Structure 1
C-alpha cells in the first residue's frame, strides 16, 4: 500500500487532464450540455474510456445524481488486467484525483471483508485498472461541497449464481436512500484488435449493425430482464466489458423489487455514442452508453402489492 494509504490518479495526464482547472472546465461543459433527465438516479451506468471519447456521454449519467441526498457511493468496475472469479476490495483509504482526494467508506469495506465473499485488490491491480478511476473526477465534480464516501468494488469473471449473491448483498445497501451505485462499463468493442467483427447484413453500415446489437442489450437492461441479458451475451458475444457489473446490478434490482418493502425500479438509457463510425472491416470502435435507474418506495406501493 502507498505510504499514506492513498491510491494515485494513475490515468491522469493520459486518459483525462491532470490539470484541475482544465478538467473542471471540461466536466462543466459536458454537464451543461445534458439535455435529457431521469432523476434522481439511485444507480447510474457510465462509460470508462478516455474523456475525449466518452466524456460527453458520461455526463448524461452523472447529471442524474442528486448530490444533496447522496452520502455513500458504490462503484462497480470490471477488471481489465487481472483475472479473478469473485469481487475484490481496495487496500487504500483514499483515492486521489486532480480535483482532490476521495475518502473510502472504511466501515462498509470492513463489513464486506467480514462477509468472506471478497478478495483483496492489491495496490498494483488497483492502480493499473481504469474502470473505477475514470468515474472519480465526474463523481467529485457532481458531489462538490458534499460529504460522502465511496466503496470501490472490482468485479471479476463471476458466474450467474455469484452475480445473484453479490446483487442481493448490494441491494441491502441500496435500501438506504442516501446510497447510490455507479456501474462502470463500455459497450461493444468492435474490430480485429478486439477479435470481434460480426456484421448484420441487413444494416447499410457496419456502425449501424453495432448500434443495433448494443441497443438490444440496453433494452433488456431497461426491461430489467436478468436472464434475457445473460442469454443475449451468450447469443451475440457482444464485447461489453462491464457485463459482470451489469449482471450484479440487475440482480440487485431484482432483489429490491422482490423485497418485503418492494420498490418499483425504472431504468432508462439517456445517451449512446461510438468512438468512431465503423465503415470497413479494418476499422474499429468502442461504444458508450449512459443510463439511470430511479425508484419509488412507499407505504402505498407496499400496500398496493399486499392487496394484489
Structure 2
C-alpha cells in the first residue's frame, strides 16, 4: 500500500448535493431536527444508513448528532460492498476521499496495521471504485467533526466466525488509540410499509439487546434484512472487544415516511454503541462502605430472561400474549430486588417507573415495572399496541439501598441516589448523572429537587441520603 491518489466523489450531485454550501446547509437542517439522545457511558460506535440524503439523511442525523462537541479525531467506517464479491474485508489504498466539503485523509499507519492481517484484509480496487455506502457517511462527519482521519473498510462475504476474527483484528489494531467505529447499513428493501416495519423490528430488537450473534443468525434465517449485515455485526463485535456492553437504537424510519409511497420501501436505522453506564471510572481506594454482592452482575442469559419478561408483560396487558411467568431456577432472578424499566421511542423517553425497595423477586419486579412504565407513567398516554414494535426498553436492576452518613460517600456513574425527608422522596438513577455530566454536589442538588425540596437540602442533617447500584441493560 502506498498510493497518494485521492478518491474523487462518485455520488456528489446525485445521492447528496454537489454544491458545498447547499450540502452543509442540508446536513445542518437534518441535525437541527434530530433530537439529542441522552446516553451514559463512553461512545464507542455508531450505526448509520447509506441511502440518498433525501431518504435516509434525517435518520443518519440522529447518530451523528451525538458527535457534536466531541473531540473525535479518527473514524473507522465499515460498509458493505454492493458491486464486487470477495471474502473478508478490503481496505482502500488511497491517501484520502474527496467530497464537496474537502478531502478526508486516510490514516495510512492504521491501514497498514489492518493489512498485516493478510488472511483477513486485502485491497480489492473494484470494490471501492464506485461504492456509495462508505462515502455517504463522510459529509455528515465533516460537518460535525471538522478535521479528522478515516480508515475505509468494505466488508465482503463473511460468516459469523469471519466477523469475530475481523472484529478482533480491528480491536487489536486500535489498541489504546482513540478510534470511533461506524457501521454503514440500510435495512429491509422493497417490502410494503407494514411488512418492512415487522422485518426491521427484528434487527432493532437484536441491536437494542446488544446481541450480534443473534442478529447474524436472524439474518441468516432471513427473519430480517440488512444490506450491511456483515459490517453491522462486525462493528458490534469489535465494539464489545473495546469494552462496549450496550447498544441503543436512536431512530428508525423508512422511505415511505418520506415519499408517501408505501408499496415498496427501504428501512433506515440510527444507533449508538456505548460502554456500561453502570461502570465507574477507576479511582484510588477509599473508605467507602463495601459494595453489595449484587454488583457481581447478572449473566447474559438472566438479562435475556428479564427482557423477555418485560416485553411479554407489556404485550400481555395489550392482549397480545399470555401473562409472563418465570419458572426457572436462576437464583439471582428470585432474589428480592428493586428495578426500573425505561421505555423510549425514537430516542425520546416514553415511560419510566420502578420499585426501589426489594419487596418482590427480581423477575416479578421487572414484570410490574414494565407494565407501570408502559401504562401508568402520568407523564405519557398509555402505550398502544400499534407502537410496541417501535419501542426500546432498558432495565435497571438495583442493589439494596445504603444510607450514607456522609452524603458525598458515593461514586458518580456507579451509584444512584435517594433523598427522603418526611413525605418527600426523590430518586435518580446512576446514568442520569453521567448523561448530564454532573459532579457529586450537582447530582445531590438535582435529587433534592426531584424530591420537591430545596436544591441543597442534602446538607441538612435531618435529610436521609441513600445510595444504590444499578446494572443497566
For normalisation by structure 1, the TM-score amounts to 0.83
Q: What is residue 8 of structure 1 aligned with on the other side?
A: 8
Seen in structure 2, the aligned counterparts of structure 1 residues 38 and 246 have a Cα distance that, compared at 3 Å, is farther
Seen in structure 2, the aligned counterparts of structure 1 residues 174 and 72 have a Cα distance that, compared at 3 Å, is same
Seen in structure 2, the aligned counterparts of structure 1 residues 150 and 264 have a Cα distance that, compared at 3 Å, is closer
Aligned 8 A contact 1:45 1:183 in 2? yes
- After superposing on structure 2, the runs of 4+ consecutive aligned residues of structure 1 that deviate more than 6 Å are none
Aligned 8 A contact 2:199 2:225 in 1? no
Aligned 8 A contact 2:200 2:225 in 1? no
CA displacement, residues 63-99 of structure 1 (integer Å, 9 cap, x when unaligned):
1125543121100000001000110011110100000
Q: What is residue 267 of structure 1 aligned with on the other side?
A: 247
Q: Which of 260, 263, 268 in structure 2 is aligned with 1:283?
A: 263
CA distance in 2, matches of 1:282, 1:46: 22
CA displacement, residues 2-34 of structure 1 (integer Å, 9 cap, x when unaligned):
x85100011001111010000000000110111
Q: What is residue 401 of structure 2 aligned with on the other side?
A: none
Q: What is residue 189 of structure 1 aligned with on the other side?
A: 189
Aligned 8 A contact 1:71 1:149 in 2? yes
CA distance in 2, matches of 1:125, 1:212: 31
Q: What is residue 47 of structure 2 aligned with on the other side?
A: 45
Q: Which of 102, 105, 129 in structure 2 is aligned with 1:103?
A: 105
Q: What is residue 132 of structure 2 aligned with on the other side?
A: 130
For normalisation by structure 2, the TM-score amounts to 0.55
Q: Over aligned residue pairs, what C-alpha RMSD do you find? A: 2.7
Aligned 8 A contact 2:71 2:145 in 1? no
Q: What is residue 120 of structure 1 aligned with on the other side?
A: 123
Larger displacement relative to structure 2 (50-59 or 36-45): 36-45
Structure 1 gaps, min length 5: 192-205, 257-262
CA distance in 2, matches of 1:29, 1:23: 10
Tell me by how many angstroms 1:52 deviates: 0.7
Q: What is residue 70 of structure 1 aligned with on the other side?
A: 72
Q: What is residue 251 of structure 1 aligned with on the other side?
A: 237
CA distance in 2, matches of 1:93, 1:38: 36
Q: Are 1:299 and 2:279 matched, yes or no?
A: no
Larger displacement relative to structure 2 (31-40 or 104-113): 31-40
SS where residue 256 of structure 2 aligns? Answer: coil
CA distance in 2, matches of 1:125, 1:157: 12
Tell me by how many angstroms 1:218 deviates: 1.3
Tell me by how many angstroms 1:254 deviates: 3.6
Aligned 8 A contact 1:78 1:131 in 2? yes
Q: What is residue 32 of structure 2 aligned with on the other side?
A: 32
SS where residue 63 of structure 1 aligns? Answer: helix
Structure 2 gaps, min length 5: 284-289, 297-473
Seen in structure 2, the aligned counterparts of structure 1 residues 188 and 173 have a Cα distance that, compared at 3 Å, is same
CA distance in 1, matches of 2:26, 2:244: 35
Tell me by how many angstroms 1:232 deviates: 1.2
Q: Using CA pairs below 8 Å that are at least 6 residues apart, which structure has the higher relative contact order?
A: 1
Structure whose alpha-carbon radius of gyration is higher: 2
Q: How many residues align?
A: 280
Seen in structure 2, the aligned counterparts of structure 1 residues 120 and 219 have a Cα distance that, compared at 3 Å, is same
